[in-house]
């Protein structure tokens, strides 16, 4: 495995020996590791990387509709019979974009899609991973709850707040003055929007699991229901940013391939991951979608 420092050293050596700008050397080294991984797995690779850890607060970090342009570019001229290994490093994003991306990738590769999560695929990123036939996780990797957030507010939390308000005011009308300023901060249709968002996220993830990871399995629907219950349990998870690590993912029933089970594969995956982290740290890139052939769609920092 190439560590961050080793990758930085490779970049510097290539820059000096070939007299190229740093960004050219960064791209060369990263793509070399992508090719090495492809040569080992013989499966198509698309990387879907956000700089959410190194550039928090920047516009464009999350999953959005425009990302499909990058995925279309990456898929173009691929031999789709080889299946797809999809690297995911994302904080999540828009529900409608997530559904559209999953639909597109399924149209291209069927269910022969393997999600690789070297570090984090949170929220909607977890939903994309659940749409794959298997999820590759290391000891350091994490998925996250898929309970929807509206305007950065947990939908389940809003519903719980309304239910508590109703119960307390029904028992004691004098509590109305306590709850009024809390309830008034929500616009009139916000509660129904929260209910619809919860329903959509659960139905989408359940269908994705049944038609992908557990396709054709008799007990698939019941396993999918159990997984959805765990991933959307607002009370148990406590926080939308909770990290759900590999053992917990296995325990809830997800089909997991442990990265440590193949040392060569692990070294290649982590080298690719470190290459992308070095890239987003040392370039303006906010989001990168790239395939093993070196075709790159990159969103840079916007003012």
Q: pLDDT, tens digit, for every residue of 262-285?
A: 999 999 999 999 999 999 999 999
Share of residues in the chain with pLDDT > 90 (%)? 71
d(CA 215, CA 197): 25
d(CA 41, CA 273): 16
Residue 236 in any domain: the answer is no
Give the number of other Cβ atoms within 10 Å of residue 274's Cβ: 21
Residue 174: per-residue pLDDT: 77
Q: Is 174 within the bounds of a domain?
A: yes
Band the pLDDT of 171: cuts 50, 70, 90: confident
Give the model confidence (pLDDT) of 82-123 as tens digits. Answer: 999 999 999 999 888 999 999 999 999 999 999 999 999 999
pLDDT at site 237:
58
pLDDT of residue 283: 93
Q: Which domain holds residue 218?
A: 147-227
What's the total number of domains in the chain? 2
- What lies within 8 Å, CB to CB, of 126 at 6+ separation is 92, 143, 144, 145, 146, 231, 244
Return d(Cα 193, Cα 195) in angstroms, integer: 5
42 shares its domain with 79: yes
Is 238 a domain residue? Answer: no
- What is the predicted pLDDT for the residue at 302? 46
Q: How confident is the model at residue 24 (pLDDT cuts 50, 70, 90)?
A: very high
Q: Is 235 among the domain residues?
A: no
Kindly state whether residues 109 and 152 are assigned to the same domain.
no
* Domain identity same for 38 and 170: no
Q: Give pLDDT tens digits for 44-84.
A: 999 999 999 999 888 889 999 999 999 999 999 999 999 99
Residues 17 and 102 placed together within one structural domain of the fold = yes
Q: Which positions ≥6 away from 33 have C-beta within 8 Å?
A: 2, 268, 271, 272, 275
Q: Domain holding 72: CATH number?
A: 3.90.226
Please tell me whether residues 247 and 113 are part of one structural domain: yes
66 with 124, same domain: the answer is: yes
Alpha-carbon gap, residue 86 to 16, rounded angstroms:
33
* 252 and 138 in a common domain: yes
The residues with which 136 forms a beta bridge, in sequence order, are 116, 257
- Same domain as 183, residue 135: no
- Residue pointed to by tokens 């698309």: 46
């Amino acid at each position: 495995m190439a560590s961050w420092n080793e990758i930085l050293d490779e970049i510097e050596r290539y820059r000096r020996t070939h007299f190229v700008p740093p960004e050219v050397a960064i791209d060369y080294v990263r793509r070399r590791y992508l090719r090495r991984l492809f040569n080992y797995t013989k499966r198509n690779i698309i990387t879907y990387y956000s700089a959410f850890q190194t550039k928090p607060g920047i516009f464009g970090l999350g999953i959005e509709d425009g990302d499909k342009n990058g995925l279309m570019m990456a898929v173009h001229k691929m031999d789709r019979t080889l299946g797809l290994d999809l690297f995911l490093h994302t904080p999540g994003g828009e529900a409608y974009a997530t559904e559209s991306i999953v639909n597109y990738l399924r149209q291209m590769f069927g269910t022969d899609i393997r999600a690789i999560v070297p570090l984090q695929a949170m929220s909607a990123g977890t939903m994309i991973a659940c749409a794959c036939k298997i999820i590759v996780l290391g000891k350091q990797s994490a998925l996250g709850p898929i309970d929807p957030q509206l305007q950065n507010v947990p939908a389940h939390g809003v519903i719980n707040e309304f239910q508590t308000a109703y119960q307390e005011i029904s028992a004691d009308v004098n509590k109305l003055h306590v709850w009024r300023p809390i309830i008034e901060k929500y616009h009139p249709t916000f509660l129904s929007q929260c209910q619809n968002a919860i329903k959509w996220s659960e139905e989408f993830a359940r269908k994705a699991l049944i038609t992908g990871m557990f396709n054709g399995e008799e007990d698939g629907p019941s396993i999918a229901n159990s997984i959805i219950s765990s991933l959307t349990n607002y009370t148990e998870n406590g926080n939308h940013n909770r990290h759900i690590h590999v053992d917990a993912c296995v325990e809830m029933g997800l089909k997991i391939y442990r990265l440590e089970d193949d040392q060569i594969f692990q070294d290649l995956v982590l080298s690719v991951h470190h290459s992308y982290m070095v890239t987003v740290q040392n370039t303006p890139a906010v989001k990168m979608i790239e395939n093993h052939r070196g075709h790159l769609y990159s969103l840079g920092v916007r003012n």
